[in-house]
Structure 1
Amino acid sequence: MTALPDLREQAETLGQSLPPLLAEAELLASTIMLGEHGRRRAGMGDEFWQYRPAHAGDSARMIDWRRSARSDTTFVREREWQAAQSVTLWVDTSRAMGFSSHGPTKADRARLLALATAVLLLRGGERVGLSGHDTPPRAGKSQLLSLTRALTAPDAAADYGAPDATGISAHGRAVFVSDFLGDLAGVETALARASDRGARGVLLQILDAAEEDFPFDGRTIFESMGGSLRHETLRAGDLRARYLDRLAERKDRLQTLARAVGWHFTTHHTGDAPLPALLWLYRAIEGGR
């Protein structure tokens, strides 16, 4: 009988946390007019995609004789590939993601973009999962609730996060969302594991404006969100050039790592509107930019 109040309290807490994030994600996703979801890859399916001129090797069954009769060219009627793909999300829950100089934290923006991406993919019939939370890729509306619960779970205790490549399906897609300010060895390992499974994906770096611009001067105390790192200086402005150089080097390294395995990389700032980042994410997952 003692477990009942605890269960009720957990349910009430979940009920308070689910609607805002889920509602915001669905609202953001609804601003993208995708129409009927199209994978834009030729293959076996029911949906018509396009006509193309017939090539050597095309069988007679593939030719659309009605369309070809209106032209001197023989045309093939292509259908879109209808097989659902699996997309695995990893969202950094480390303490570093809790930073905000103003506006939303990096964690809030990461969760919003990840969940809005899931909304779009699930509406298109894809399977979406979340690594590190025992939430394997599945389709359907119920999966959206599972993803929301996992994304609103308590944050991890680590200062910085490392991508978790477990659960990524062979030849599937993956999305890693983080500030990527920790040790890049973890990123390299996760990308290698994903690449070994033939997975393609996206690295989305989320930074606060203060982390991008370094607007500090005079006496400043820099401390990690977990308190494990601390540095005090009397002339913070003297560090700006070196900091910006190191940040640029880190971005270049992330870009190089992504390109080496056929992935995409970009940086999004919490002070910017989330819609352009969501559009980029969706197109990158689908294979465009």
Structure 2
Amino acid sequence: MREPAALRQEAEALAGPLPPLLAAAEHLAASVIPGQHGRRRVGQGDEFWQYRPSHAGDEARMIDWRRSARADDSLFVREKEWQAAQSVMLWLDMGQSMDFASDAKLPTKADDARRLALALAVLLVRGGERVGLTNIGLPPRSGELQLLRLTTALAEGHDATEYAAPELRGAPSRSRAVFLSDFMGDIGPAREALTGAADRGISGALVQVLDPVEEAFPFDGRTIFESMGGTMRHETLKAGDLRARYLERLDARKSELRALASATGWQYTVHHTGQSAADTLLWLYTALERVH
């Protein structure tokens, strides 16, 4: 048998390097009080669900004779509830565009997306669901160990590209998925991912994460616009003249995403890094109920 001191030392070594991301996600998850998750339906299980009148074809062993004795000429079957563990796959945009924050008091889009994704995983795993991460092909699993795997992958993950492309690596057919991104790059990969998901019976939710400045476009006069990865740069002397055209294109992108989600059976919302993450988390949690 292993010595208790050695086991404790190993446990402390494992927990020591964990970033504060999990603690932040736990705190966020605790701010949301969800209802019962999963579909309530008849099946193999331990929890009593309901009595129903006996039908032709029911075996005698299925009849609850004590309940039936209280009825006049009626037989009742005692049904149990099956809470089937379902799989939810997360994809988080780790491209360089997500590293943007317009103010030191605001989190980057990536940090807010990480916290939302992990807080959702906390709620789902502790509700008996299986959660995976498509970025690294992490298959859906349940349990606290899976939360540690997700924490490590989300905290350390990074994509060298400017705008990352959604993917469903390792996602089982007829599962659910959540994509978190600013969706500011080419919409083609998102369209391809969602249509491919629909073909496999995968439904889910899109969360477009934006910084407040990206919504307001408060720039005027001489301004230099440069992408986070440095691959794009534009200088103008009249930034204010670009505002209307920029906001029109942003609205068009939102409309595209909303229409794409609707056509493929997904849900869509916008999350701003300056708003309450708890509100978006609650929306996400209930959205997954609506799409399945």
TM-score, normalisation: structure 1: 0.85
Q: Which residue in 2 is equivalent to 1:228?
A: 231
C-alpha contact 1:22 1:115 (8 A) present in aligned 2: yes
1:210 to partner: Cα distance: 0.4
1:43 aligns with 2:42: yes
C-alpha distance in structure 2 between counterparts of 1:179 and 1:57, whole Å = 56
1:83 to partner: Cα distance: 1.4
Q: Which residue in 2 is equivalent to 1:20?
A: 20
Q: Which residue in 1 is equivalent to 2:282?
A: 279
1:14 to partner: Cα distance: 9.0
State the AA in 1 paired with 2:234.
Answer: H
Does the C-alpha gap of structure 1 residues 278 and 77 become closer, same or farther in structure 2, counting only changes over 3 Å? farther
State the AA in 1 paired with 2:30.
Answer: S
C-alpha distance in structure 1 between counterparts of 2:27 and 2:270, whole Å = 22
Q: Give unpaired runs (5+ residues) of structure 1.
A: 1-10
1:238 to partner: Cα distance: 1.1
C-alpha contact 2:137 2:169 (8 A) present in aligned 1: no
C-alpha distance in structure 2 between counterparts of 1:238 and 1:56, whole Å = 72
1:27 to partner: Cα distance: 1.0
Instruction: From the CA coordinates, give the structure whose radius of gyration is larger.
Output: 2
C-alpha distance in structure 1 between counterparts of 2:256 and 2:65, whole Å = 49
1:225 to partner: Cα distance: 0.4
1:235 to partner: Cα distance: 1.1
Name which of structure 1's ranges 101-110 and 61-70 shifts more when overlaid on structure 2. Answer: 61-70
Cα RMSD (Å) of the superposition?
3.0
State the AA in 1 paired with 2:100.
Answer: F
State the AA in 1 paired with 2:97.
Answer: A
State the AA in 2 paired with 1:42.
Answer: R
1:149 aligns with 2:148: no
C-alpha distance in structure 2 between counterparts of 1:245 and 1:99, whole Å = 21
Does the C-alpha gap of structure 1 residues 234 and 64 become closer, same or farther in structure 2, counting only changes over 3 Å? farther
C-alpha distance in structure 2 between counterparts of 1:116 and 1:25, whole Å = 4
C-alpha contact 2:267 2:291 (8 A) present in aligned 1: no
| Matched pairs, number | 275
C-alpha distance in structure 1 between counterparts of 2:216 and 2:70, whole Å = 62
State the AA in 2 paired with 1:151.
Answer: L
C-alpha distance in structure 2 between counterparts of 1:134 and 1:181, whole Å = 24
Q: Deviations over 1:128-150 (max 9, x none)?
A: 11012131111111000000110
Q: Which residue in 2 is equivalent to 1:244?
A: 247
C-alpha distance in structure 2 between counterparts of 1:58 and 1:26, whole Å = 49
Structure 2 residue matching 1:241: 3-state secondary structure: helix
Q: Which residue in 1 is equivalent to 2:6?
A: none
State the AA in 2 paired with 1:223.
Answer: E
Q: Which residue in 1 is equivalent to 2:85?
A: 84
Does the C-alpha gap of structure 1 residues 41 and 211 become closer, same or farther in structure 2, counting only changes over 3 Å? same
Does the C-alpha gap of structure 1 residues 70 and 166 become closer, same or farther in structure 2, counting only changes over 3 Å? same
